[in-house]
């Protein structure tokens, strides 16, 4: 008996990820649909439905409109309707609420991205966990000896030769507490001022600790 199929659209984290999946599928004589179905099955079987993939907010960059950037991330799949129904049922039970694209991308992050990296289809992880970045910001602040968030904010987020800040202290402290705001932008600023690679902030805390232990400690 043939499985019933349905067409779905998945908005991937980036067009870089989409290109890597396409190339991997072509080189291994398979289909992206099969790759994603297998990843999704592993996600469901794991019974661990925690999500560490962030939503993507498309912006107009490099001559492309926000809509064009969104379209470049879109992947259309014809897949098993029963598998989609299982995923949708799990998604409906989750708190806080997620969506199908995020759920599928979490399965890609766990089960496909490591393969794409190990086989050279991706140079580095494309998924960046902003909550992990916040935890590492706190770790860095403590490591560098700052007594509180205010001192850290003044040291690294005040514009040079100005009384203005890249972000207000109120918004920065809120960012540390609840994870709101443009964290990637703040990481970029602090990365430049500390000479710590931006990508390092998205490492697991243990790896980030090892990284800063081996790095030149910034002068405070």
Domain borders along the chain are 5-118, 130-214
Digit-coded pLDDT (tens) for 159-195: 988 889 998 999 989 888 877 777 888 888 999 888 8
Query: What local confidence, expressed as pLDDT, does residue 1 receive?
Result: 58
Digit-coded pLDDT (tens) for 21-75: 999 999 999 999 999 999 999 999 999 998 877 777 666 666 778 788 788 889 8
CA dist., res. 128 & res. 126, Å (int): 6
Question: Would you state the structure tokens that stand for residue 110, as one six-digit string?
Answer: 């766990």
Are the C-beta atoms of residues 122 and 115 closer than 8 Å to each other? no
Burial class (CB in 10 A: 0-12, 13-18, 19+), 207: exposed
Are the C-beta atoms of residues 196 and 215 closer than 8 Å to each other? yes
Closest CA to 146 of 135, 154, 157: 154
H or E segment and range at residue 139: helix 130-143
Query: What local confidence, expressed as pLDDT, does residue 29 receive?
Result: 97
Phi, psi of 158 (to 5 degrees): -95, 135
Q: Residues for the chain: how many in total? A: 220
CA dist., res. 16 & res. 14, Å (int): 5
CA dist., res. 12 & res. 202, Å (int): 19
7 confidence band (pLDDT: 50, 70, 90): very high
H or E segment and range at residue 79: strand 74-80
Question: Would you state the structure tokens that stand for residue 181, as one six-digit string?
Answer: 């705001």
Are the C-beta atoms of residues 175 and 138 closer than 8 Å to each other? no
CA dist., res. 44 & res. 94, Å (int): 13
Where do we find the tokens 């991997």?
24
H or E segment and range at residue 6: strand 5-11
Digit-coded pLDDT (tens) for 77-102: 899 999 999 999 998 988 667 889 88
Closest CA to 38 of 77, 95, 91, 70: 77
Question: Would you state the structure tokens that stand for residue 83, as one six-digit string?
Answer: 């598998």
- Considering only CA atoms, give the Rg of the chain: 20
pTM: 0.68
């Amino acid at each position: 008996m043939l499985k019933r199929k349905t067409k779905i659209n998945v908005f991937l984290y980036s067009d870089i990820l989409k290109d890597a999946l396409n190339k991997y599928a072509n080189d291994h004589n398979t289909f992206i649909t099969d790759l994603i179905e297998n990843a999704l099955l592993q996600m469901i079987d794991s019974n661990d439905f925690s999500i560490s993939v962030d939503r993507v907010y498309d912006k107009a960059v490099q001559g492309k409109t926000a809509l064009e950037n969104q379209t470049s991330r879109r992947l259309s799949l014809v897949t098993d309707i029963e598998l989609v129904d299982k995923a949708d049922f799990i998604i409906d039970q989750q708190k806080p609420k997620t969506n199908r694209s995020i759920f599928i991308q979490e399965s890609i992050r766990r089960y496909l991205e490591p393969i794409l990296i190990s086989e050279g289809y991706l140079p580095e992880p494309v998924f960046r966990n902003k909550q992990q970045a916040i935890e590492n910001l706190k770790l860095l602040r403590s490591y560098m000896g700052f007594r509180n968030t205010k001192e850290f904010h003044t040291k690294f987020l005040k514009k040079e030769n100005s009384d203005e800040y890249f972000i207000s202290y109120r918004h920065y402290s809120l960012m540390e507490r609840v994870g709101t705001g443009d964290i990637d932008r703040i990481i970029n600023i602090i990365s430049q001022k500390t000479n710590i690679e931006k990508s390092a902030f998205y490492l697991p805390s243990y790896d980030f600790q090892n990284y800063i232990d081996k790095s030149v400690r910034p002068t405070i």
